[in-house]
Chain A
Amino acid sequence: MLPEYLKIELNKTIKSSKLNDVQKKEIEKRIETTYDDSLLIPGEAIGIITAESFGEPSTQMTLNTFHFAGVAEMNVTVGLPRLIEIFDARKQPSTPKMELTLKSKYSKTIEQVREVAIRIKETKIGEVVNEIQMNLPKYRIELSLSRNVLRDLNLKTSDVVEALKKTFKNYEVKEDRWTIYVISKTKEIDLTDIYKLKEKVKNLHIQGLKGITQVLPIKTDEGYVVHCAGSNLKDAIELEEVESSTIKTNNLFEIADVLGIEAARVAIIKEAHGVISDQGLNINIRHIMLLADVMTRQGSLKGVTRTGITGEKESVLAKASFETPIKHLVAASLTGEVDELNSVIENVILNQPVPLGTGLPRLVVKVKK
Chain B
Amino acid sequence: MVEKFVHKKVKSIVFGMLSPEVIKKMACAKIITPELYDKEGYPVDGGLMDIRLGVIDPGLRCKTCGGKLKECIGHFGYLDFARPIVHVKFIDVILKCLRATCKDCGKLLVDEKKLAKQDEERTVVENERDVNVLRKQVHVFVTGLKSIKKCPHCEAKQLSIKMEKPTTFLENEKRLSPIEVRTRLERISNEDCVVLGLNSQYARPEWGILTILPVPPVTIRPSITLESGERSEDDLTHKLGDIVRINQRLFENLNVGAPEIIVEDLWDLLQYHVTTYIDNSVPQVPPARHRSGQALKTLSERIKSKEGRFRYNLTGKRVNYAARTVISPDSKIELNEVGVPLRVAMEITIPETVSEWNVKRLKKFVESGPKNYPGSNYVVRPDGKKKKITDETQEQLLEELQPGYVVERHLMDGDIVIFNRQPSLHRMSMMAHKVRILPGKSFRLNPSVCNPYNADFDGDEMNLHVPQTVEAMSEAEILMQVQTQIISPKDGLNVIGCHTDSVTGLYLLTTRMEFTKDEAVQILDQIGVYKVERFSKFGEIVKGREIFSAVLPDDFNFVGEDKQKRKVIVNNGVLVEGIVDNAIVGQEKGELIRALCAKYGLDLGIKLLGQLFRLGIEAISRHGFTTSISDTDLPGEVGSKCKEIIYNAERRVSQLIEQYNENQLVSMPGLSEEETMELKIREVLDRARTKIGEVVSSIASEENPTIIMVVSGAKGNILNLAQMAACVGQQSLRGRRIEIGYKDRTLSSFAKKDLMPHARGFIKGGYKDGMDPKSYFMHAMTGRDSLMDTALRTPKSGYLYRRLSSALQDVKLEYDSTVRDGKGNIIQFIYGEDGLDVSKTESGKINVKRIVEEFLEEIKNVA
User: Could you tell me which A residues sit within 8 Å of B by CB distance?
Assistant: 3, 5-6, 9-10, 13-14, 17, 23, 26-27, 30-31, 34-35, 37-59, 61-64, 66-68, 71-74, 80, 83-84, 87, 214, 216-218, 227, 282-287, 289-291, 293-294, 297, 304-306, 308-318, 320-322, 325-326, 329-346, 348-352, 355-358, 360
Most A Cβ at <10 Å: residue of B13, B304, B808, B823? B808
B792 at the interface (CB under 8 A from A): yes
Instruction: Tell me which residues across on chain A come within 8 A of B279, comparing CB atoms.
Output: 326
A229 to chain B, nearest CB (A): 10
Q: Give A66 to B541 CA distance when docked, in angstroms.
A: 59
Bitwise interface map of B from 815 to 841 toward A, beta carbon under 8 Å scored 1, else 0: 101010111010110011111111011
Residue of B nearest to A349 (CB): B314
Instruction: Decide: B813 and A283 in contact? CB cutoff 8 A.
Output: no
Q: Give A326 to B92 CA distance when docked, in angstroms.
A: 14
Q: Give A44 to B90 CA distance when docked, in angstroms.
A: 41
Most B Cβ at <10 Å: residue of A311, A332, A336? A336
B226 at the interface (CB under 8 A from A): no
Instruction: Decide: A304 and B796 in contact? CB cutoff 8 A.
Output: no
29 residue pairs A–B, Cβ–Cβ below 8 Å: A30-B851, A38-B846, A40-B835, A44-B812, A46-B812, A48-B427, A50-B804, A51-B807, A59-B794, A72-B669, A72-B670, A80-B797, A83-B800, A87-B800, A286-B836, A286-B844, A297-B827, A310-B803, A310-B807, A325-B303, A325-B310, A326-B89, A334-B90, A335-B203, A339-B13, A340-B12, A349-B310, A349-B314, A358-B475
List the 9 closest pairs (A to B, CB-CB), nearest first.
Answer: A47-B811, A343-B822, A55-B801, A286-B832, A336-B199, A336-B202, A47-B808, A343-B810, A332-B15
User: Could you list 11 further interchain pairs (A-B, Cβ under 8 angstroms) beyond the known A45-B812, A49-B489, A348-B315?
Assistant: A14-B852, A42-B817, A52-B427, A53-B491, A55-B801, A56-B801, A290-B808, A293-B819, A315-B822, A336-B201, A338-B14
Instruction: Decide: B804 and A39 in contact? CB cutoff 8 A.
Output: no
Instruction: Decide: B12 and A309 in contact? CB cutoff 8 A.
Output: no
Instruction: Tell me which residues across on chain B come within 8 A of A30, comparing CB atoms.
Output: 851, 855
B1 at the interface (CB under 8 A from A): no
Interchain CB contact (< 8 A) of A283 among B427, B490, B811, B822: B490
Most A Cβ at <10 Å: residue of B317, B797, B801? B797
Q: Given A48-B809, A66-B735, A344-B809, are A61 and B793 neighbors across the interface (CB < 8 Å)?
A: yes
Instruction: Decide: B844 and A284 in contact? CB cutoff 8 A.
Output: yes
Instruction: Decide: A326 and B797 in contact? CB cutoff 8 A.
Output: no
A224 to chain B, nearest CB (A): 11
Within 8 A of A (CB), among B136-162: none
Range class of the B interface residue count: 35 or more
Most A Cβ at <10 Å: residue of B12, B90, B197? B12
Interchain CB contact (< 8 A) of B805 among A51, A67, A68: A51
Interchain CB contact (< 8 A) of A59 among B14, B201, B304, B425: B425
Chain A-chain B contacts (Cβ-Cβ < 8 Å), number? 338
Instruction: Decide: A290 and B490 in contact? CB cutoff 8 A.
Output: no
Q: Give A116 to B476 CA distance when docked, in angstroms.
A: 65
Instruction: Decide: B735 and A67 in contact? CB cutoff 8 A.
Output: yes
Instruction: Tell me which residues across on chain A come within 8 A of B135, comparing CB atoms.
Output: 331, 335
A89 to chain B, nearest CB (A): 11
B492 at the interface (CB under 8 A from A): yes
Instruction: Tell me which residues across on chain B come within 8 A of A344, comparing CB atoms.
Output: 809-810, 822
Q: Given A56-B426, A329-B15, are A17 and B856 neighbors across the interface (CB < 8 Å)?
A: yes
B256 at the interface (CB under 8 A from A): no
B16 at the interface (CB under 8 A from A): yes
Q: Give A20 to B792 CA distance when docked, in angstroms.
A: 62
Instruction: Decide: A40 and B813 in contact? CB cutoff 8 A.
Output: yes
Q: Give A59 to B89 CA distance when docked, in angstroms.
A: 38
Interchain CB contact (< 8 A) of A282 among B311, B479, B491: B491
Residue of A nearest to B856 (CB): A17
A73 to chain B, nearest CB (A): 8
Q: Given A14-B852, A58-B801, A282-B493, are A345 and B198 neighbors across the interface (CB < 8 Å)?
A: no
Residue of B nearest to A351 (CB): B317
Instruction: Decide: B670 and A23 in contact? CB cutoff 8 A.
Output: no
Instruction: Tell me which residues across on chain A come within 8 A of B12, comparing CB atoms.
Output: 338-341
Instruction: Tell me which residues across on chain A come within 8 A of B326, comparing CB atoms.
Output: none
Residue of A nearest to B814 (CB): A42
Instruction: Tell me which residues across on chain A come within 8 A of B300, comparing CB atoms.
Output: 326
Instruction: Decide: A290 and B789 in contact? CB cutoff 8 A.
Output: no
Instruction: Tell me which residues across on chain A come within 8 A of B304, comparing CB atoms.
Output: 325-326
Q: Give A331 to B132 CA distance when docked, in angstroms.
A: 10
Within 8 A of A (CB), among B309-359: 310-311, 314-315, 317
Instruction: Decide: B427 and A37 in contact? CB cutoff 8 A.
Output: no
Instruction: Decide: B808 and A51 in contact? CB cutoff 8 A.
Output: yes
B226 to chain A, nearest CB (A): 32
Instruction: Decide: A342 and B822 in contact? CB cutoff 8 A.
Output: yes
B488 to chain A, nearest CB (A): 8
Instruction: Tell me which residues across on chain A come within 8 A of B836, comparing CB atoms.
Output: 35, 38-40, 286
Q: Give A332 to B384 CA distance when docked, in angstroms.
A: 40
Q: Given A40-B836, A41-B813, are A333 and B16 neighbors across the interface (CB < 8 Å)?
A: yes
Q: Give A338 to B10 CA distance when docked, in angstroms.
A: 12
Within 8 A of A (CB), among B90-126: 90, 93
Instruction: Decide: B806 and A23 in contact? CB cutoff 8 A.
Output: no
A140 to chain B, nearest CB (A): 37
Instruction: Decide: B793 and A63 in contact? CB cutoff 8 A.
Output: yes
Instruction: Decide: A326 and B792 in contact? CB cutoff 8 A.
Output: no
B683 to chain A, nearest CB (A): 9
A101 to chain B, nearest CB (A): 17
B668 at the interface (CB under 8 A from A): yes
Instruction: Decide: B804 and A283 in contact? CB cutoff 8 A.
Output: no
Q: Given A13-B852, A53-B490, are A341 and B13 neighbors across the interface (CB < 8 Å)?
A: yes
Instruction: Tell me which residues across on chain B come within 8 A of A67, comparing CB atoms.
Output: 735
Bitwise interface map of B from 384 to 414 toward A, beta carbon under 8 Å scored 1, else 0: 0000000000000000000000000000000
Residue of A nearest to B491 (CB): A282
Q: Give A54 to B427 CA distance when docked, in angstroms.
A: 12
Instruction: Decide: A57 and B490 in contact? CB cutoff 8 A.
Output: yes
Q: Give A294 to B803 CA distance when docked, in angstroms.
A: 13
Q: Give A126 to B82 CA distance when docked, in angstroms.
A: 68
B203 to chain A, nearest CB (A): 5
Q: Given A74-B670, A339-B12, A343-B810, are A334 and B846 neighbors across the interface (CB < 8 Å)?
A: no
Instruction: Decide: B807 and A309 in contact? CB cutoff 8 A.
Output: yes
B565 at the interface (CB under 8 A from A): no
Interchain CB contact (< 8 A) of A345 among B134, B315, B425, B814: B315
Instruction: Tell me which residues across on chain A come within 8 A of B813, comparing CB atoms.
Output: 40-44, 46
A3 to chain B, nearest CB (A): 4
A262 to chain B, nearest CB (A): 13
Q: Give A45 to B493 CA distance when docked, in angstroms.
A: 20
